[in-house]
Structure 1
Amino acid sequence: MGDEGLAQERGPDGVDARLAARLAARLAELRVERGWSLEELARRTGVSRSTLSRLERGEISPTAALLGRLCAAYERTMSRLLAEVETDPPHVVRAGEQAVWRDEASGFVRRSVSPPHPGLRGEVIEGLLTPGADISYDGPPVPGLEQHIWVLEGALEVGANGHTYRLGEGDCLRFRLWGRSRFRCTGAEPVRYAVMVVLP
């Protein structure tokens, strides 16, 4: 199993330092709750046992691609997983307190805009891709996940369910995701977009 680009040594970037240890612990809990060994989780995600072990011990920070694979295995959106490592979800989350995920290797920044709450079905996420950034996901964390993608600045190409959509500033795409997806910045400037996600 090749893990190139799937994990990064713990550093100043990646998951906010306040969440990193709790995220590692929660990932370990989810595996144990299901009665899965590291070998079983490796089989389900295509990620090596050694990488998963280091991740659960907090020695490395997962990239967006790796976290996407784990969320799919545990049937959770990324925001729900991050909400589960917060305590007492607030009704309002100020801009400076919103959880920000940076995957420097791929040029992707993800901001959880909605106040975190593991029990609610909808959420708003802000994505930012640098020019040339290209991110693919093997599948949705939950089959049939509804997404609305609204481009705020720049140009974005979205692949979903075998179709490709080219979006400009102000354009909005809506679909339910059953298979692979891909997000690519096609302009000379970064693209910033909002994703509204609704669990089926």
Structure 2
Amino acid sequence: MADDDLAQVLTAVGPRLRALRRERAITLAQLSETTGISLSTLSRLESGQRKPTLELLFPLAKAYGVPLDELVDAPPTGDPRVHPRPFTRWGKTFVPLTSRLGGLQAYKMILPGRPAGSQELEQRTHEGYDWLYVLAGRLRLVLGDHDVVLTAGEAAEFDTRTPHAFESAGPEPVEILSIFGRQGERMHVRARPKSSPSGD
């Protein structure tokens, strides 16, 4: 690899690390506790002020559950296929469907069934815009004052600065497709039209 190519790869590591951490909704403090790398080093690494080394990248790759080559953006040459590497967070299984960090992110998500007597959902907010499509099962979406149940074939989209949370609507798992972007927009909720009794 030429020196210019190497410099370009190393320069791109910091933004990729920041995008990956934000994608997983992990704080620098949480990452520091998990990896044993100091907060200042992590911050400098993400901002490009610290040169990435194997000693730093290895524990980060392990914490994120990704191979080292993903951190340095070295996919198989000429292969456009995405090779999903599922990970689990908050009890949900995420299957990444996009290989590039930053910009729009697509996931298949598998949410476990809701146990009887489970606690009320805690809504949260963050920058971004989310689009959800139910592949199988029933999804409960709590969005501000709205509390709706989506079934297979229905979709919802919303500004994630609106308090929100979602889970399986029953004891069975639910599978959804999620496309998430950082840019927040006005909230919309769209669902498949229901046929009237007359069939109109």
After TM superposition, the score normalised by the length of structure 2 is 0.51
SS at match of 1:99: coil
Matches within 5 A, 1:13-162: 53-57=32-36, 85=71, 87-89=73-75, 92-94=80-82, 97-103=83-89, 106-114=90-98, 116-119=99-102, 121-132=103-114, 136=122, 138-140=124-126, 143=127, 145-162=128-145
Deviation, 1:55, is 1.1
2:72 and 2:87 map into 1 onto residues whose CA distance is 15
1:86 and 1:112 map into 2 onto residues whose CA distance is 17
Higher relative contact order (CA 8 A, sep 6+): 1
Decide whether the 8 Å contact of 1:159 with 1:183 is kept in 2. Answer: yes
2:94 and 2:72 map into 1 onto residues whose CA distance is 17
The number of aligned residues is: 128
2:155 and 2:72 map into 1 onto residues whose CA distance is 31
Deviation, 1:184, is 1.1
Q: Deviations over 1:142-166 (max 9, x none)?
A: x2x2211000000001123443221
- CA root-mean-square deviation: 3.6
* Equivalent residue, structure 1, for 2:196: none
Q: Deviations over 1:73-129 (max 9, x none)?
A: x9xxxxxx97973523566344xx3121124xx531011111x2235x222111111
Q: Percent identity?
A: 17
Q: Which has the higher strand share?
A: 1
Decide whether the 8 Å contact of 1:100 with 1:110 is kept in 2. Answer: yes
SS at match of 1:92: coil
Q: Deviations over 1:45-98 (max 9, x none)?
A: 6x9x6x65431328xxxxxxxxxxxxxxx9xxxxxx97973523566344xx31
1:93 and 1:128 map into 2 onto residues whose CA distance is 22
After TM superposition, the score normalised by the length of structure 1 is 0.51
Aligned residue type for 2:174: V
Question: Over alpha carbons, which structure has the higher Rg?
Answer: 2
Q: Structure 1 residues 188 and 178 mapped into 2: Cα distance closer, same or farther (>3 Å)?
A: same
Aligned residue type for 2:85: A
2:131 and 2:149 map into 1 onto residues whose CA distance is 14
Decide whether the 8 Å contact of 1:136 with 1:183 is kept in 2. Answer: no
Decide whether the 8 Å contact of 1:161 with 1:178 is kept in 2. Answer: no
Asked if 1:183 corresponds to 2:166, the answer is yes
1:131 and 1:99 map into 2 onto residues whose CA distance is 22
5+ residue gaps, structure 2, are 1-12, 19-26, 38-45, 47-63, 184-200
Q: Structure 1 residues 86 and 137 mapped into 2: Cα distance closer, same or farther (>3 Å)?
A: farther
5+ residue gaps, structure 1, are 1-24, 31-44, 59-73, 75-80
